[in-house]
Structure 1
Amino acid sequence: MKKKPTLDDIAALAGVSKTAVSMILNEKKGVTFLEETIEKVHEAAKELGYAKKTPRLQKLSVFNKNTILVLAPTISSPFFTTIVQSIEQEADKHGIHVIIQNTFRDKERELKYLEQIKDSNLYGLILTMLPHHPKLLEEINESIPVVIINERSFHADLDTVEVDNYSAGILLAEHLISLGHKHIAYLTTALSTLNIARVRRLEGINDTFRKLCPEGTVTVKSKRVRPVDEIRNINLEHDTGYELVHEVLPHKEITGIVASTDMIAYGVLDALEENGFSIPEDFSVCGFDNLFPSKFHGISLTTVEHYILNKGQEAVEIIRSRQLKNREKISSTSVLYQHKLIIRNSTGPARKFQLKEM
């Protein structure tokens, strides 16, 4: 049998002490390491196939007959917090308990939770992001109703509640082009198949510019985000927008900035204002999701309404419908929500003047 990797093995491969490996993998509080050291340890652990033990869900057996488990990337984001609250509100109407677990988009963490509940009597399972293990979810779905809240981009027979993010990108692109913006930037965290909403939004923007403004350009700036980054930094999206703006400023032709989420847009607004720029006179800024802070007078962000509250409620209703039919699995359901452009004070006509130097 293949020997399971140990902390000593990881330490030897990474070239650090066993104590350092233990502290880094267990995210010991009050201890800091160089980013390079942390990266080495995680890469070594991954190369050796080391899997950190995930604590079992506490007291799940007490509630599982009347409990929905919600897996979310991180509820530090207002987007996922709002979805989870809408799920809880709807579940509470029917006396259903809700348990929430963060996955931080980590493949192994998600697998641990799925393995723990697959033979349980859980009332339902809701994932608020694209799954790493769709085939396992199909197996679970035979006995436990499963709903995915995200754009469908996987080949699995599962119920989904989604939004057409491609069309949402078209809406924002048309809005900016109508205001005279020919050169814009798209700022986002990692673009990948697991973050398909961000990819589809960009595709909608790119196709619209090719069609309506072929002389224009869409400059993409993205930041790679690892699961460990999501765990450590609850301000990750805001910080991403804040940092990426500084990569945009050298491009003097850019007049509009589209953030892949409202949270990233908030970081963009803060960075621009701190550098002495005016919104929307110097730059127009917009995002996606229409989070509740976006309507605040001090922010007033142009964005796309994605009806987050409705999506959480719909997911609970799909599960209840399955339960009323004794969990019988019938053909999968796909509920598609329309979106709406919300125009606020963060967008305006493209500037005609040269930007002042920073």
Structure 2
Amino acid sequence: MIDKNDTNKHLYEIITEDLIEKINDDHFGQSGRLPNYLQLTEMYDVSMSTIKKAMQLLNDKGYLVSRVGKGTFINKKLLRFNKTEVAPTNKIAFALINYNDANFFDILTEVEKLTKKLNKNLEVHVSKTINAHEELISKLVSNKEVDGLILGTSRKSVFGVKLYKKILKQVPAFFCHDIYDSNVPIVTIDNYKVGSLAARELLKKSEKKICIVLDENGYKSDDLKLEGFLDELESQGESGRCVVIRNSFKNKGSTYEDGFNIGNVLDLENSEIDAIFASNDEVARGFKNALIEKGYNFPQDISILGFGNVKQTQEHDSSLNTIGIDSKELGGVLFNNFKIIFEENEYKVPSKVLIEPKLIIREKN
């Protein structure tokens, strides 16, 4: 119940605050539809003019969208973080599952520079498993050890589903990967365009079939790459030339060994494959070396394209072509979002920001 006797605020302001609290607590369910004005007057036992003022204030704050003939709904394109009275820790945590995450080093370097501009320190936490990763996040949030989180993971357990839904109510958090079933804001590369770009590039070099190698374990980022890849081939009338390999990678992070094993068992001659896109640089490197051992020459016999611009891969193979992300742009988006959150009374950030992929050519033809 609201306190109508609070003389420090107008009644419509008290109702607005109560509605915001209900919105943040998912009171209006998955549809996000609010009661109509008449129902709200009955709910709060106030006049229609008071409800209209409260709803106008909610609308001005960006909380509402109206749909003709359907009603008023929560604006899910803007995600908000509840402000707490806890003293700031001046720390932002970058939580990863392993050091092989694509672009980890570049993104880390950029984010570290920008957090200093916010007078915050960056803490890096690396977990070996998804469960350990989520337990760490739960600890950081529940103990109020950080002012913000950057999460480098691309899937989650059942525990994680519940965990991430609670994060927004306690601490600002951003994913650096596409992820299914999450209300945490995402700042990441446009994976659909990654797939499209890979297909366009390999079509220039392929005369036979093009293979795309992905993880089969439900990564949304891989699903989007595949969708973009197939759509691009279809748009150019080449959909019949695609070979899709969805492998259950044994190693965390889709590693060199995974790629080597696939390349070792794949019969390229009978499959007529002369171009490969692997959704991870280390998989691409392993695939390439397995084929070199079979006597193939690059790029004369076969073209291969990786993803991630991973530093570890560059150290072993400086000639591997790849698709990467502009880490400065990604870091800049994270910086601007955190800046808004830490400096504004109203915490509003886009639910998703996609960074354009860039083609990185290193191969000497």
TM-score range normalised by the length of the shorter chain = 0.5 to 0.7
After superposition, the Cα gap between the structure-2 partners of 1:331 and 1:70, relative to the gap in structure 1 and judged at 3 Å, is closer
Partner of 2:165 in structure 1? 138
What pairs up with 1:213-232 in 2 under 5 angstroms?
Answer: 213-225=238-250, 229-230=251-252
Alignment partner, residue 342 of structure 1? 360
Aligned to 1:10: none
Q: CA deviation at 1:331?
A: 5.4
Cα contact 1:68–1:97 (8 A) shared by 2: yes
d(CA) in 1 for partners of 2:300 and 2:307? 21
Letter in 1 for 2:331: G
The offset of 1:256, in angstroms, is 0.9
Provide the C-alpha distance between the structure 2 equivalents of 1:294 and 1:75, rounded to a whole number of angstroms: 12
User: Residue 201 of structure 1 aligns with which residue?
Assistant: 225
Cα gap change, 1:250/1:278 in structure 2, threshold over 3 Å: closer, same or farther?
A: closer
2:278 corresponding residue in structure 1: 259
Amino acid at match of 2:136: Y
* Gap change, CA 1:294 and 1:109, over 3 Å in 2: closer
Identify if the C-alpha distance between structure 1 residues 292 and 111 changes in structure 2 by more than 3 Å, giving closer, same or farther: closer
One-letter amino acid matched to 1:154: D
Deviant stretches of 4+, over 6 Å: 293-297
* Aligned residue type for 2:257: D
Quick one: distance in 1 between partners of 2:88 and 2:279? 36
- Matched letter for residue 96 of structure 2: A
* TM-score, normalised with respect to structure 2: 0.66
Cα distance change of structure 1 residues 100 and 341 upon mapping to structure 2, 3 Å threshold: same
User: Is the 8 Å Cα contact of residues 258 and 287 (structure 1) preserved in structure 2?
Assistant: yes
Q: How much has 1:339 moved relative to structure 2? A: 1.7
Paired amino acid for 2:98: T
| Structure 2 match to 1:118 | 141
Return the TM-score normalized by structure 1: 0.67
For 1:149, give the aligned amino acid.
C
Q: Which has the larger radius of gyration?
A: 2
Distance in 1 (alpha carbons) for counterparts of 2:146 and 2:242: 49
Structure 2 distance, partners of 1:216, 1:291, is: 28
Tell me the secondary structure at the aligned position of residue 215 of structure 1.
helix
Structure 2 residue aligned with 1:178: 204
Looking at secondary structure, tell me which structure has more strand per residue. 2
SS in 2 for 1:218: strand
> Take 1:336 and 1:78, find their aligned partners in 2: how far apart are those partners?
16
Task: Check whether the contact 2:147–2:171 (CA below 8 A) recurs between aligned residues.
Answer: yes
1:285 aligns with 2:304: yes
Distance 1:342 1:118, change over 3 A: closer
- Supply the distance in 1 between the matched residues of 2:282 and 2:328 (Cα, whole angstroms): 17
The question of whether the paired residues in 1 share the 8 Å contact of 2:321 and 2:361 is answered with: yes
- Is the contact made by 1:182 and 1:215 (CA closer than 8 Å) also made in structure 2? no
- The yes-or-no answer on 1:248 pairing with 2:266 is yes
Supply the distance in 1 between the matched residues of 2:153 and 2:312 (Cα, whole angstroms). Answer: 22
CA contact (8 A) 1:172 1:205 kept: yes
State the SS of the aligned residue for 2:239. Answer: coil
Letter in 1 for 2:262: L
1:161 aligns with 2:187: yes
Pairing 1:1-358 to 2, within 5 Å after superposition? 65-77=89-101, 79-106=103-130, 108-119=131-142, 120=144, 122-130=146-154, 132=156, 133-151=160-178, 153-156=180-183, 158-188=184-214, 190-193=215-218, 195-211=219-235, 212-225=237-250, 229-230=251-252, 237-252=255-270, 253-292=272-311, 299-326=318-345, 328-330=346-348, 332-345=350-363
Tell me the distance in 2 between the aligned counterparts of 1:115 and 1:295. 34
CA distance in 2, matches of 1:339, 1:139: 31
Question: Which residues of structure 2 form unaligned runs of 5+?
Answer: 1-86
- Greater shift in the superposed pair: 209-218 or 159-168: 209-218
Maintained 8 Å contact 2:337/2:349 = no
Q: Which amino acid aligns with 1:311?
A: L
2:255 is paired with a residue whose SS is helix
> How far apart, CA to CA, are the structure 2 residues paired with 1:308 and 1:283?
29
Inter-partner Cα distance in structure 1 for 2:164 and 2:101:
25
Distance in 1 between residues matched to 2:194 and 2:104, nearest whole Å: 19
Q: Is the 8 A contact 1:241 1:264 kept in 2?
A: yes
Query: Structure 2 counterpart of 1:241, which letter?
Result: G
Give how far 1:79 is off: 2.6
Summarize the Cα distance change of 1:136–1:79 in structure 2 as closer, same or farther, 3 Å threshold.
same
Partner SS for 2:103: helix
1:305/1:78 Cα in 2 relative to 1: closer, same or farther (>3 Å)?
closer
CA distance in 1 between counterparts of 2:268 and 2:234 reads 23
Alpha-carbon distance between aligned partners in 2 of 1:78 and 1:206, rounded to the nearest angstrom: 23
Q: For residues 221 and 243 of structure 2, what CA distance do their matches in structure 1 show? A: 18
What residue number does 2:18 align with? none
Equivalent pairs counted in the alignment come to 273
Q: 1:155 to 1:124 in 2, by over 3 A?
A: closer
